[in-house]
Amino acid sequence: MIKYLPAFLFVIGLSCCGSPGDSAEQDSTVQSQSPSYDTLGFIERLDPELDRVLDSAARLEILAEGFEWTEGPVWVPQGDYLLFSDIPNNSIFKWHEGDSISLYLKPSGFTGETSESSEPGSNGLVLDREGRLVLCQHGDRRIARMEAPLAEPSPTYVTLVDEYEGKKLNSPNDLVFLSDGSLYFTDPPYGLPGQSEESPGKELDFQGVYRFSIEDSTLTLLTKELSRPNGIAFSPDGKTLYVANSDPGKAIWMAYDVKDDGHIENGRVFYDATDQAKQEKGLPDGMAVHSEGYIFATGPGGVWVFNPSGKLLGTIKTGEATANCTFGNDEAVLYITADMYLLRLVLKPDNPSVAAEN
């Protein structure tokens, strides 16, 4: 998602629980909070069903702050830690309970000498079937995989896909794997200089949603009808694809039926937040879908929570432009990236299945 900020970092600090490693010295202005976390925002409850996934006493905790624009969180179950992007700083950071924030990977999205983009770093992050890190790289305009093991990160990458019909992709933004191993991703222009259709070097005259077959390296354009395709996610059964459109003039979430061959059809507006986008910070962006089908979608004002039928149950009001979210700790926690913050919301444990009711 596009964002404009002064080119400096700042910290509203509590005491740190340790100091970053040597590799993070240049990013030492970024601090983790003490175990007694500050809180932020509030939860707006619009429907009693929200209580099935969010406890009434839940509070939005500030885990870390002082970044420039956080994005792309991914939970790493092998080590019980979170990775997330700071796009303008071309970096990925690591958060682990009880430890300080540490610089995990740099460069993360642009590996050249000089970038003209204000958002050159990695955006969406995901783990593949083998547990390897796959990245949307704005600056290099590609989907890439880190070649080093997760426990020994190194900015060595292999390109998975970087062009469509001989033309460079815009700047891959967010991505998700389907259960069959195919990779779906969005490609708006936010990583390009100017972030628009007139951006220098833009080769495609549209913003696409794609399916990439890891097995045979085939790239398929699924739709080019969205002006700013952004966040992307599947329903638990893989039969519905959700795509956010981060256009202030058409701030919507779309839903598509996924065909047996992986293509999509029957595109329809899942929810229209255009009016709200005129009143609050943020646009439809990244999202996470719970195993029970609940959709946690970042949008104007924070994180919007929908049930599988599209009913808005409530909003996690961050008060900030909110970029993305992901589940961790076996869906017991929602991690949120919002502007300069990394946030956490503990979810309601043992929420009952409501699939039959929806």
Neighbours of 134 (CB within 10 A): 21
> Using 50, 70 and 90 to split pLDDT, how confident is the model at 13?
very low
The predicted-structure confidence for 287-327, as pLDDT tens digits, reads as follows 999 999 999 999 999 999 999 999 999 999 999 999 999 99
Instruction: Give dist(CA 78, CA 31) in Å, integer.
Output: 24
The amino acid sitting at 267 is: G
Of the candidates 216, 256, 250, the residue with the CA atom closest to the CA atom of residue 233: 256
CB atoms under 10 Å from CB of 128, counted, come to: 14
pLDDT at residue 14, as a whole number = 30
Q: Specify if 4 maps to a domain.
A: no
Element (H, E) at 275: helix 274-277
pLDDT at position 270, please?
A: 98
Q: Is 16 domain-assigned? A: no
Confidence of residue 56 (pLDDT cuts 50, 70, 90): confident
Confidence of residue 7 (pLDDT cuts 50, 70, 90): very low
The mean pLDDT value for 114-121 works out to: 93
Query: Could you give the number of structural domains in the chain?
Result: 1
Could you list the residue range(s) of the whole structural domain that residue 196 is in? 22-348
For residue 12, the model assigns a pLDDT of 32
Residue 11 in any domain: the answer is no
Whether 135 is covered by a domain: the verdict is: yes
Range with the poorest average pLDDT among 1-10, 41-50, 185-194, 307-316:
1-10
Full-prediction pTM beyond 0.85? yes
CATH, residue 36: 2.120.10.30
Q: Is 13 contained in some domain?
A: no
> So what's the pLDDT on residue 63?
97
Percent of the chain with pLDDT over 70: 87
Q: Which residues contact 113 (CB under 8 A, 6 or more apart)?
A: none
Q: What value does the mean pLDDT of the chain take? A: 89
Q: What is the pLDDT of residues 327-343, one digit of tens each?
A: 999 999 999 999 999 99
Tokens, residue 121: 């770093």
In a domain, 91, yes or no: yes
Is the residue at 15 inside a domain?
no
Residue 16: which pLDDT band, with cuts at 50, 70 and 90?
A: very low
At 201 the three-state DSSP class reads coil
Overall average pLDDT of the 16-27 stretch: 37
Residue 30 pLDDT greater than 90, yes or no: no
Q: Which token pair is 58?
A: 């839940």
Checking if the pLDDT of 121 tops 50, the result is yes
Is residue 9's pLDDT more than 70?
no
Number of other residues whose CB lies within 10 A of the CB of residue 198: 10
Q: What is the mean pLDDT of residues 37-65?
A: 94
Average pLDDT (153-178) is 98
Asked whether residue 6 is domain-assigned, the answer is no
Q: For position 350, what pLDDT does the model report?
A: 57
Select the more confidently predicted residue: 348 or 335.
Answer: 335
**Residues whose CB is less than 8 angstroms from the CB of residue 77 and which lie 6 or more positions away in sequence, other chains included:** none
Supply the pLDDT for residue 99: 87
